[in-house]
Amino acid sequence: MKNEHTIFLCRRAKQRGIKCQTLESDDSFCVLSKGKQIHLVYGGIVSDNSSASGYELARSKVVAREFLKINKFPVLPQIKTKEFGEAKKFLEKHKKVVVKPMKLKQGKGISVGIETVRQLKQAWRYANQFTKHSKVIEKYYPGVDHRVLVINYKNVFAVQRFPAYVIGNGRDSIKKLISIKNLQETPEQRKKPIIIDQPMKAFLSGQKLSLYYVPKENQKIILRGTANIHTGGESRDCTDELSSEVKKQAITIAKLLKTDVIGIDYLAEDINKKRYIIELNSDPGVQLHHFPTHGKKREPIEKFLDMLF
């Protein structure tokens, strides 16, 4: 078995006396059973109780945004286009934008903080490495990335996610500092290696930096615009900081979609005040809540199993 989400679910299920059988042709699928109760689960978190239409809607960035806008949830201006000229006009209007593929996850193909036509061309080429279809061009908003997870229409968890970074020591280059940080052990934490790629180089270039710049002692260098854990970002649990209003909003979205598990990505300086929803995730990873880089560990997978059994 290779699917990390299925592995995590099965390990927890077996601890509760629940049988787990994965499908050999695709280990994203597993069958959980206990007595007469049987459930098919996808991706370690999508149950057979969830709406198929709600699941599919959430997978499309453009369709999800339209759904949210119709239902008067806060979203940012964006367009879907195959034409670079349209993307250029959108940049001219909004001054600073984000470029991302339509359906990919884990930060793949995304470029953030695009301000010039040259940067836009680079971002367009980078997105083309992942898809030749339409791109989403969205107005940039300088908030902190929050993932809010809803399980069973009542259990709410939240983490803040931060872009990969290094701290200078006055001796080593950014590239060397990345290598050093990647070798550091992070037991009981949801931590992935920092990945060096074109968006990182472009983001550093926007700060007039390169991988060979030597940061001063204790100088913090942000390495990319996206805060995805899979590219070396970090997380902090903020569940206890959510207001009842934010929790109610997240639960309402889950109920409208009829998905008993949903991840909602917000951008906000203070999520309890002004916030925007940037994406929905119909098969969200839950391990970042179990193993945040900072803060209290949560147990969403236990609530998921409570719901099924």
Residues 59 and 159 both lie in one domain: yes
Query: Domain range for residue 35?
Result: 4-44
Nearest to 144 by CA among 262, 240, 233: 233
DSSP lists the bridge partners of residue 287 as none
CA neighbor of 192 nearest in space, from 144, 234, 145, 149? 234
Structure token pair of residue 13: 């299920």
Assess whether pLDDT exceeds 80 at residue 105: no
Same domain? 247 vs 301:
yes
Tell me, yes or no, whether 22 and 81 share the same domain: no
At 19-78, the pLDDT tens digits run 999 998 999 999 999 999 999 999 999 999 999 999 999 998 889 999 999 999 999 999
User: Is the same domain home to 33 and 147?
Assistant: no
Quick one: which of 144, 149, 148, 88 has its CA closest to 114? 88
Check whether residue 66 and residue 134 sit in a common domain: no
The number of domains in the chain is 4
What is the CATH number for 59?
3.30.470.20
Considering the domain architecture, whether residues 149 and 256 belong to the same structural domain is answered as: yes
Least confident interval from 34-38, 53-57, 187-191, 265-269:
187-191
